[in-house]
Structure 1
Amino acid sequence: MKKISLLSIIMFLQLLFVNAQYDWDNIPIPANAGSGKTWQLQVQASDDFNYQFLPSTNVTDFGPGNNKKWYNKYHNLPSGAPNNFEGPGPTKWMQNHVAVSGGHLNIWASRIPGATKSFVGSSGNLISRPETRAGCITNKTRVKFPVFVEASIKVMNSSLASDIWLLSPDDTQEIDIIECYGGPGDDNRNGFFANKIHLSHHVFIRPPNFKDYQPADFNSWWQKNGVNQWGGRVVRIGVNWVSATRLEYYVDGQMVRVLDDTAVQTRLADGTWQYTYPAGVTSTGVNGQLVRENGYQKMNIATSLNDAKNKSNISVIDPFNYLNNQRRFTKEMDIIINVEDQSWQAEANRSATDKELENFENNNLLVNWIRVYKPVNASNFVNTEISNNSARTLTFNEEEKQELAVFPIPAKDVVNISSKDYVQAKVYNLQGLIVLRKDVADGTLNVSSLEKGIYVLELAKANGESTKQKIVISK
């Protein structure tokens, strides 16, 4: 048998191309990473839900294997202590309304006949409505700009909210990736909102002097030609949090809205762009109010985004300086996915009825996957997620190899990994195919299923960094 030198193998593997590994691999990243940059997957914050997690009445961490990425409740306080907020309006978040099965995250709503919850209405009066029980989860990894977060979901055919959002631990800064009330209801009472996705954000002053700003322009309720209701539809939706003052929204791979400091651009239902800026406010201080027209924030129209920015002196991020930080998004944020019965919907009697909630499928939010990327310098990074059927090159980082020990070599049943920094392993054969993928948070990889031969082991850290080493399997 002809002998092949180790150097020849390594040279071959450096040119080796490998196939897809995640559910989103063949889906292009629509956002631009920036000049000289490329996207790097943040493994610990991303999930394609190809595992099982059963409903639990207890607060439980869950994720693939031993890699616990989420917990099944609303995000914790900045101190790490549990947050006792039950949910907005008549919502009561329940741990046992969350499960992972069939390749999806499932978060659903239900109702106990006769159960009610009271909340403060828009006029300051106490309102009582039927209690809506629903699920909520929080990612254990926080994100901060620059970052791109995108998810594939099946919107509920319900007047309840299908939500994915980012929220700072102190609850003062919020970026909504999707807020959608996708079902019209049996009597069409929610028909106005069913064909719209709210592309929005919030900045808050928390009690005792509570204040809440969010964009109120008509275009923030985004519509698409041919969509009569979002409920029951699968949609890809993402936010590119570019900087402290710029947000880009993407729907089904297409940029549809941009907030850039003092101006907005929105892709209208007919596909054309409209460039706008605030027509005015009563004051840019904390007691200021929006100038409104027909119930919406009044906006002036410009010829381009730059034209709108040149004409505007009012922030579209924080017009009343609630954050007291030069009107910017500056804090790390938690990724939250949930179903909720919003107080303003409930106050207007648009909540799902008892009868509608009996239809589990219509009130079950399905999340196919969520992926998170950070831009990194392209010059010293080999992209492991080049999309749309393009190839990915394997390279070896000699410096990391010196710090990492993988043993025994050759291995028979188990490979031990000296560093606990690595959370996921992939094994490639010499044809570039992934033949094994496992979580390795415990520092071991079971390779008993592999045939005798030479393979490449790729180990990834929670932050997306990875390294590759040759391994040999003997039998």
Structure 2
Amino acid sequence: MKSINTLFLVAIGILFFSCSASQDTTSQSGTNENQDLVIKFNNGVIAKSIAKNYPELNQTWQIEAVFSDEFNYEGKNSEFEKNWNDTYFNGWRGPGLTEWTSNNSDVKNGNLIISASRKPNTNRVYCGVITSKKEVKYPIYTEVRAKIANQVLSSNFWFLSKDDKRELDIIECYGGDRDSEKWFAANAASNTHVFLRNDSDNSIIKDINKSVKHKTEDGSPWRNDFHTYGAYWKDAFTIDIYYDGKLVNKIRKESINDPENVGLNRKMFLIIDLEDHDWRSRKNPPITPTDEELKDESKNKYFIDYVRTFRPINKN
């Protein structure tokens, strides 16, 4: 069984990892004995990429257990409850037609499962969400291994500050198999947001955002397989995004474009969820799931094999 209850000090050459092409990603369960435990990380594709840009990462790291989970237990038991809230971190119920509910998250067969369903007699969409109980801040490397839901909804792994003013989206992907959705399903996004908000009601005055799209090597939809989605959040103005062990987005000061000149400087909650976004549901015709799509058990689930977060430890 995989375990994260013990802190492991691991050299960078065996710390960062990607899922090799030889792994069985067609199974709904992402478990694989070759990736068990932190000390068995594979051949270090990410390590080589990071070392090229950050020679100082030739150091040791430790796992941040409160922001990590292998999901090797059944149900949302006491082990789940140690690290996660089975809700959003505040009272917001979600964007657009989204209505987050704890009924749409589960842990089964080695995966966190975030699902979607119809709220009866409405056009709203029940979606699962979990958030970390604590806030995390750089420097960290964090990664999920996940299988995107086959829905026009967005499958997400992201971070948001408690004041709702800074956001980092490591993966945001619309995974539906409609003909009109082919481009979105093959182009996952990593994003940053700097929100200028009205202090009286928290409404958005301006959203300064930067989105970068990413394709799979063969251009196939991301939903077809398990993939790894990670970020090295080095500091407020330095974030590197890695998909399947490859550096796909270098986020720097000029792309964050923060008028306050502080960047992503805040502690943030880790969030894993599904969402129905209003910019899509408000279109004519609306891009939102049908009842048939939501009822399809082979399509309405977002699988997360693990989330792993690490912090660098000084050599001395």
TM-score of the superposed pair, with normalisation by structure 1: 0.54
| Change over 3 Å in CA distance of 1:168–1:352 after alignment to 2 | same
Matched, 1:73 2:87: yes
For 1:175, the equivalent position in structure 2 comes to 168
Aligned with 1:204 (options 195, 204, 210)? 195
For 1:214, the equivalent position in structure 2 comes to 209
For 2:124, the equivalent position in structure 1 comes to 131
Matched, 1:158 2:151: yes
Matched, 1:318 2:310: no
For 2:100, the equivalent position in structure 1 comes to 93
| Change over 3 Å in CA distance of 1:112–1:328 after alignment to 2 | closer
Aligned with 1:227 (options 199, 219, 238)? 219
Find the residue that maps to 2:279 and give its secondary structure: helix
**1:63, 1:70 within 8 Å by CA — same for their partners in 2?**
no
**C-alpha distance in structure 2 between counterparts of 1:318 and 1:52, whole Å:** 43
Find the residue that maps to 2:193 and give its secondary structure: strand
**C-alpha distance in structure 2 between counterparts of 1:255 and 1:222, whole Å:** 11
**C-alpha distance in structure 1 between counterparts of 2:59 and 2:37, whole Å:** 22
Shift of residue 234, structure 1, vs aligned partner = 0.8
For 1:22, the equivalent position in structure 2 comes to 37
Find the residue that maps to 2:103 and give its secondary structure: helix
Number of residues of Structure 1 aligned to a counterpart in Structure 2: 270
**C-alpha distance in structure 2 between counterparts of 1:251 and 1:108, whole Å:** 23
RMSD of aligned alpha carbons: 2.1
Query: Which has more radius of gyration?
Result: 1
| Change over 3 Å in CA distance of 1:51–1:196 after alignment to 2 | same
What percentage of residue pairs aligned between the two structures are identical? 31
* Structure showing the higher helix proportion among its residues: 2
**C-alpha distance in structure 2 between counterparts of 1:172 and 1:144, whole Å:** 15
Matched, 1:147 2:140: yes
For 2:110, the equivalent position in structure 1 comes to 103
For 2:272, the equivalent position in structure 1 comes to 337
**2:105, 2:115 within 8 Å by CA — same for their partners in 1?**
yes
Shift of residue 194, structure 1, vs aligned partner = 1.1
Runs of at least 5 residues in structure 2 that lack an aligned partner in the other structure:
1-33
**C-alpha distance in structure 2 between counterparts of 1:179 and 1:20, whole Å:** 25
Aligned with 2:62 (options 31, 40, 49)? 40
Matched, 1:347 2:282: yes
For 1:260, the equivalent position in structure 2 comes to 252
| Change over 3 Å in CA distance of 1:195–1:333 after alignment to 2 | same
Shift of residue 63, structure 1, vs aligned partner = 5.1
Runs of at least 5 residues in structure 1 that lack an aligned partner in the other structure:
1-18, 55-61, 76-82, 116-129, 263-315, 380-475
For 1:407, the equivalent position in structure 2 comes to none
Find the residue that maps to 2:223 and give its secondary structure: coil
For residues 235-291 of structure 1, the C-alpha deviation after alignment (integer angstroms, 9 at most, x for no partner) is: 1010111111111000001111101222xxxxxxxxxxxxxxxxxxxxxxxxxxxxx
Q: What stretches of structure 1 move > 3 A for 4+ residues in a row?
A: 27-34
TM-score of the superposed pair, with normalisation by structure 2: 0.79
**C-alpha distance in structure 1 between counterparts of 2:252 and 2:84, whole Å:** 31
